[in-house]
Amino acid sequence: MSEQHSVQRPPVAPARVTGRSADGTWMLAVLCPYCPAEHRHGGGDGKRADMTGTRAPHCQGAVRLPHYEIAPEESRTNWDREQSYAASLLRAAEEEAREAARRESAPGPATNQRNHELRALTDATGQRGRTGRNSAYLAAWQAKNKRSGR
């Protein structure tokens, strides 16, 4: 799925300031709500680090994960509850990815039509009941040669 998940609210992840970069941007360490890693995000270049707002998770690979919000780790947020909420979002995203993969691998109408044609050719050339992937190809080849008079 190419769109971001629609969730009631993003999970909240704890952030702490780790310093400033050479250009003056505040550097934040964020404990990811989806994986056990600590991600790095920028916190602006003002007098104080901006420890609010939404961030994109760095750990999203094949599974599209919802963005998360950050808050100072010393805030009164219930981090265990947020981690549990994020885990439920991760499970939903993984299930959605599995379902999308199943849909993409399902044969379409053109594939079904071609399979039907190959089965008909297999039956018409006496290859029915023979095993192996070459049976249908042999049947198609024989039918083609029969039509062209070879």
Model confidence over 23-64: pLDDT tens digits? 999 999 999 998 888 999 999 999 999 999 999 888 877 678
Domain range list for the chain: 12-105, 109-148
Q: Which of 25-34, 119-128, 139-148 has the highest mean pLDDT?
A: 25-34
Which tens digit of pLDDT belongs to each residue from 68-119? 999 999 999 999 999 999 999 988 888 888 888 887 777 666 666 766 776 7
CA–chain centroid gap for 103, Å, is 13
pTM higher than the cut 0.85: no
Residue (of 82, 79, 20, 81) closest to 48 by Cα position: 20
* Strand bridging mode 38-42 / 54-55: unpaired
* Strand bridging mode 68-72 / 12-20: parallel
Residue 104: per-residue pLDDT: 77
Residue 123: per-residue pLDDT: 67
CA atoms within 13 A on the CB side of 128: 7
* 149 has a pLDDT exceeding 80: no
Residue 20: per-residue pLDDT: 95
DSSP character string of 102-141: HHHHS--HHHHHHHHHHHHHHHHTT-TT--STHHHHHHHH
